[in-house]
Amino acid sequence: MAATVVRGQNVDIRMWTRPDEVEEFAMRQLQNISALPWAVKNIAVMPDVHYGKGATVGSVIALRDAVSPAAVGVDIGCGMAAVRTSLTANDLPETLRGLRSRMEAVVPVGFGQHKATAFTERDASDWGTFWRKFDDLTPVVKARADKAMHQMGTLGGGNHFLEVCLDTDQRVWVMLHSGSRGIGNELAQHHISVARALAHNSELPDPDLAVFLAGTPEMAAYRHDLYWAQDYARRNRAVMLRLVCDVLRAEFPQIAFEEPISCHHNYVSEENHFGEDVLVTRKGAIRAGRGELGIIPGSMGTGSYIVRGLGNPDSFESASHGAGRRMSRNKARKTFTTQDLAAQTSGVECRKDSGVVDEIPGAYKDIDTVMANQSDLVEVVAKLKQVVCIKG
């Protein structure tokens, strides 16, 4: 669909969804974002848009010589990874419970962590250099070094997941969604608090949109911590993907894996748009530069998509990060039952208890509608449907 332009305050709001389908609080947030004096061209709003802390989930913001930590989100570097295997549906056992159990045994979920560090030189060759940078992070996380090391290669909870999927050719994929775990959250919360106290942010319509300005020590400190956390998140997904692929290798010795796909959807990137160097924050959005591969998941009972970017300049070469929630977690728990969850995840080997009712497919927007709304942002490479879904 063609984007709808809504009049903003400093810049306009360009939306890949119908404005009347966006909840009132989210629209108010978008207007607040559009008032930022550092904003460039427009605010790009993805079709999975919904209310978030400070900045709206599903928003892409380009700022001139400034960055807002809340426009990144508290799970810095959260994103997706996926790999296509040589297996087909016929290679899988009739019951998938055992495979799910073996995957859960190697990837801790929820608040869990590894008893011993799980990362190896098979995942990256520069772990020593990476961990030495921890000593240069903001002092508030100094005591977290050991925990950060043991959480490397863990899933977390909430909407994070690990799946085995089938595409329309019946090929088997592994796909997962996770971020920078507790360490990224603590870094984000610290810098949001620092930004709120800076004098140049005192007149903003929403204190949570506070920014750091280029050339200041606060900006330098944030960018240092931010880029480390984004790297942590990327490595975290790579370690988990390797752990799960090792399970599959043990189960299916003949298996082969294609090149993995990996993408952030809560992050900052230094880019050039409309002839200007800007800092782009994507909160609930992936980069969709022309030819770039990305991953757009649905929910735990619906389809997901592997996509190729079309490089649309009006979206700052971006696309949605998923289906997007249509109701809060609290509302989902009050609206749906475990019986509803079992019905909506029929055919998927997964948890079906009260602890994940807030992740029920009915709490999310329709992924196919979301994809139709961004047909000028991405093209579909493959459609996937999960047969195993692991959540914390």
Residues with Cβ within 8 Å of residue 388, at least 6 apart in sequence: 96, 99, 100, 103, 163, 164, 348, 349, 350
Q: What is the pTM of this model?
A: 0.96
Residues with Cβ within 8 Å of residue 350, at least 6 apart in sequence: 100, 300, 356, 386, 388, 389, 390, 391
The CATH superfamily holding the domain 4-326+364-391 is tRNA-splicing ligase RtcB (3.90.1860.10)
DSSP β-bridge partners for residue 88: 171
Is 55 within any annotated ligand binding site?
no
pLDDT digits (tens, 9 = 90+) for 247-263: 999 999 999 999 999 99
Is 272 within any annotated ligand binding site?
no
HEC sequence for 7-24: CCCCCEEEECCCHHHCCH
CA atoms within 13 A on the CB side of 392: 19
Domain boundaries, given as residue ranges, for the chain: 4-326+364-391
pLDDT at site 53: 81
> 239 by DSSP, 3-state: which?
helix
Is 317 within any annotated ligand binding site?
no
Active site residues: 321
pLDDT, mean of each 10-residue run, the chain (392 residues) = 91 96 94 96 96 91 97 96 98 97 97 96 96 96 96 96 98 98 95 96 92 98 98 98 98 97 97 97 98 97 96 98 95 97 97 97 96 98 98 90
Residues with Cβ within 8 Å of residue 88, at least 6 apart in sequence: 170, 171, 172
pLDDT at site 8: 95
- How long a stretch of residues is the chain? 392
Identify whether the C-beta of residue 46 lies closer than 8 Å to the C-beta of residue 13: no
Give the DSSP H/E element, type plus range, for residue 391: strand 378-391
- Rounded Cα distance, 190 and 116, in Å: 28
HEC sequence for 85-106: EEEEHHHCCCCCHHHHHHHHHH
Phi, psi of 283, deg, nearest 5: -115, 105
Is 200 within any annotated ligand binding site?
no
Is 297 within any annotated ligand binding site?
yes
Is 283 within any annotated ligand binding site?
no
pLDDT at site 26: 95
